[in-house]
Structure 1
Amino acid sequence: MSTFPRMHVSLYVSDLAATVTFYTAFFGQPASKIKPGYAKYVLDAPSLIISFVQNPERVHSNFGHLGFQVETLPQLEERLAAARQAGLVQREEIGTSCCYAKQDKFWVNDPDGTEWEVYYFHEDAEFNDPRYQQEYDQTAESSQCCIAPAAVAEVIPAMAPMAFTLADTSAAAGAACSPAGNCC
């Protein structure tokens, strides 16, 4: 199975060592490359290259969030249990309607406050939960989707890697959005 095209993301970070510790636990694998001021992870599932450049002056955690959809509820439960065990979970939302979709999800924040959402899509919804609507109404520029709580940037010492791969490698796991186009 080909892993191309492969998405690439690069983030500025303030503390590379703390970032590597966090992402090794979150991704469940070590970095494929670590150099002074730089680290890179090459993931097969999802097909992603993510790199980190230490540059505290350019860190901006208010761009939105990153995330991935899992294929089944048992996969979400497995990832949530591993994230809880590693002390990464910031918030859990079960049966929430966000982005006009019913979802189960949890959130983690890396050491610089970058938010990651891991979610399972149940079905489309015609509304958003009221807790989101209040935040949408307060946002004059646009209606944001899937707003996580304010990031708590803590360095979590010596986290053990999670005992799962980031996503299923089966052919059915390739879609990051529902057939109706709902993604967060």
Structure 2
Amino acid sequence: MKRFHVHISVPALDEAVHFYSGLFAAEPTVHKPDYAKWMLDDPRVNFAISQRGAAPGLNHLGVQVESDAELHEMRQRLDGMAAGYVAEPGTACCYARSDKYWTNDPVGIAWEMDHTLGTIPMFNDAADDHACCVPSSGNTAAMATTTPTTPAANACCDKTATGKASSGCC
């Protein structure tokens, strides 16, 4: 069964955790100094927030699946839409190891399709603690040329034109 995923970047994590815990009548299932996640069943959603330097607001949307078969189905949907995407097998992000596909919708909002394989003790495997997880937004053209076996140059933790890591994160 699939689960809708929403990730919001926040300027003050403790304040946001307090607000969303009250709104959902539940404490986060994952709570780190820079990240929190609620795995809710009513509504069925993976709702995450982080304080990692990205601009406050919507970071990305997604569909979390429970099996390789469901992730394959999501990739087939992207293929059927002729939507470009970035494949990230075995990536480390948001305190989890996952297989993922990323695409952008027509207005540039990043969408993540992922199958979580397990947890990890740190936000990601990158040396830069603020490294991103979301491919650079607005690079739909680069995604359009990406195949599942050829990750795009703008994939997770890509450097911007200034040489700095992109600011988005899972």
Structure with greater proportional strand content: 2
TM-score past 0.5 threshold: no
TM-score calculated relative to the size of structure 2: 0.45
Higher relative contact order (CA 8 A, sep 6+): 1
Q: Highest Rg: 1 or 2?
A: 1
State the TM-score, normalizing by the size of structure 1: 0.42
Relative to its length, the structure with more helix (as a share) is 1
